[in-house]
Homo-oligomer: A and B are copies of this chain.
Amino acid sequence: MSALVRDERHSSECSTEALARFVAASRWEDAAASARHAVVRALLNFLGTALGGSQDEAIARATAVLAPLSGRPNAGVIGRRERLDSLNAAFLNAASGNVFDYDDTHYPTVIHPTSPVAPPLLALAETRPIPGKDLLHALLLGIEVACRLGNAVTPGHYVRGWHITSTCGAVGAAAASARLLGLDSERTVWALSHGANQACGLVENLGAMAKSVSVGNAARNGLFSALLAAEGFTASTKGLEGPRGFIAVLGVEPDRPALLAGLGERWEAERNMLKPYPSGVVLHPVIDACLELHGRCADLIDRVVEIRVRGNPLLRQRADRPRPQGGREAAVSAQHSVAVCLLDGAAGLAQYTDSRVNDPFVHRLAAKVRVEEDAAIPIDAARVHIAFDDSPEQTCEVDHATGSLARPLSDSQLESKVRELARWRGWQGSVERLLETVWQLERAPDSGVIMRLLCG
Contacts and interface: CB of A to CB of B under 8 A. Distances in A.
Given A198-B200, A213-B194, A238-B204, A72 B68 contact: yes
A228 interface: yes
Contact of A161 (B68, B202, B248): B248
B194 A224 contact: no
Nearest to A62: B233
B161 A245 contact: yes
Contacts of A207: 236
Interface string A75-108: 0000000000111000000000000000000000
Given A214-B198, A233-B209, A249-B202, A85 B71 contact: yes
Interface string A185-215: 0000010011011111111110111100110
A65 interface: yes
Interface residues of A, number: 55
A234 B248 contact: no
Q: Determine which residue in A62, A208, A210, A246 has the highest number of CB atoms from chain B within 10 A of its CB, and name it.
A: A210
A174 B201 CA distance: 16
A64 B233 CA distance: 10
Contact of A210 (B62, B70, B72, B197): B197
Contact of A202 (B62, B69, B232, B239): B239
A243 interface: yes
Contacts of A86: 69
A228 B62 CA distance: 7
B242 A204 contact: yes
B199 A200 contact: yes
B227 A209 contact: no
Interface string A35-64: 000000000000000000000001001101
A176 to B, nearest CB: 18
B210 A235 contact: yes
Contacts of A208: 190, 193, 234-236
A217 interface: yes
A244 interface: yes
Nearest to A328: B234
A246 B193 CA distance: 22
A197 B203 CA distance: 9
A213 B200 contact: no
A204 B160 contact: no
A14 B456 CA distance: 50
A436 interface: no
A233 to B, nearest CB: 5
Nearest to A162: B249
A23 to B, nearest CB: 18
22 contacts: A62-B233, A65-B233, A69-B71, A69-B72, A70-B85, A71-B71, A160-B249, A161-B243, A161-B248, A190-B210, A196-B202, A196-B204, A197-B202, A198-B214, A202-B246, A204-B236, A204-B238, A204-B243, A204-B244, A204-B245, A205-B239, A213-B224
Give the 10 A-B residue pairs with the shortest CB-CB distance, closest first.
A161-B244, A210-B235, A161-B249, A200-B200, A203-B244, A204-B244, A204-B245, A204-B242, A69-B85, A208-B234
